[in-house]
Amino acid sequence: MFSSFMINSWIVASMVAIVAGVTGLFVVIRGNTFAAHALPLGTFPGAAGAALIGVNELWGLIVFAALGVLGISQLSRHQRNDVATALTLITLLGLGTLFLSLSSEYSQGVYALLFGEVLGVSSSEIAPVAILSVIAIGLTLLLFRPLLLSSVSEDLGAAQGVPNARVELFFLAILGLATAMALPVVGALLVFSLMLGPASAARLVTGRPLRAMCLSAGIALATVWAALALSYTTNWPVGFFVGTLAALSYGLGRSWASARTALSTHKFECVR
């Protein structure tokens, strides 16, 4: 599993996991789970569009991620956030259907983008993914305080001078970058599980935001590494193992939190 043709997968998957873990914490705190699910589904048709005009699929994913972010942010001004997200999703999926019908040669690549492709990462993708990773993590750390304040309470954020609408747009942009990066490795159907499972588990284990972010990135990294190893061994889709292990991490986090609560209650009763 560490042979030369797998090295690219390990490198890119590791970068994807760290970004997903870092951004996923704010997805959970801010309640942007629908956007985290919709953006990958609305982004993957961009790869079909890129294939249609003969450019790298990563750029198609980025363009459609940007369209998804702009669509959600603009429509949210006139509709509820969930409605805006749904309208943006169906528009992008409609374009994806058109692109696929015009480019029948790309239809075989749809399965890989839906479920992930452990052996589909080329050397040319490493540098763009690394650049996007640095940008996504850098923006998240730069906006850490305003993101945290507006996530806890928009009124509190506004009182501290945080422009909530602008912060939401920037976070959606970061989320769009993260999904565009993760799509070729994890797949559109389960990329959001890599963001939600580890982040939810980390939030249950610790209430300190920075520590939870680091723990979320660590859990996501362990999840992807285990998923790659299991996918290589069984020849099953890497997305299946990512989804299963992400759900397992949340279950373990929930068990940890329940055990900690029970222990605290027991100690309190003993003191009484």
Q: For 182-198, what is each residue's pLDDT tens digit?
A: 777 667 766 778 888 99
Quote the crossing angle between the two packed helices 164-186 and 33-43, to the nearest 10°. 50
Specify the length of the chain in residues.
Answer: 272
Q: CB-based contacts of 211: which residues, under 8 Å, 6+ apart?
A: none
Contact present, 232 and 7 (Cβ < 8 Å): no
| Residue listed under structure tokens 């992807």 | 224
Helices (H) and strands (E) in the chain, counts: 13, 0
Q: CB-based contacts of 98: which residues, under 8 Å, 6+ apart?
A: none
Which CATH topology does 4-271 take? ABC transporter involved in vitamin B12 uptake, BtuC (1.10.3470)
Cα–Cα distance for residue pair 24/270, rounded to 1 Å: 38
Give pLDDT < 70 ranges for the chain: 1-5, 78-80, 103-112, 114-120, 156, 185-186, 189-190, 265-272
Q: Is the sign of the CA dihedral 92, 182, 25, 228 positive or negative?
A: positive
| Residue listed under structure tokens 């309208």 | 87
Name the token pair of 116.
């992930």
Q: For 149-189, what is each residue's pLDDT tens digit?
A: 887 777 767 777 777 778 888 888 888 888 877 777 667 76
Helix-, strand-, coil-residue percentages of the chain, each rounded to 5: 85, 0, 15
Cα–Cα distance for residue pair 26/159, rounded to 1 Å: 20
Cα–Cα distance for residue pair 142/140, rounded to 1 Å: 5
Cα–Cα distance for residue pair 137/165, rounded to 1 Å: 20
Q: Which residues of 73-90 are buried (b: 16+ CB within 10 A; e: fewer)?
A: bebbeeeebeebbbebbe
Name the token pair of 83.
């409605």
pLDDT of residue 5: 63
Contact present, 110 and 45 (Cβ < 8 Å): no
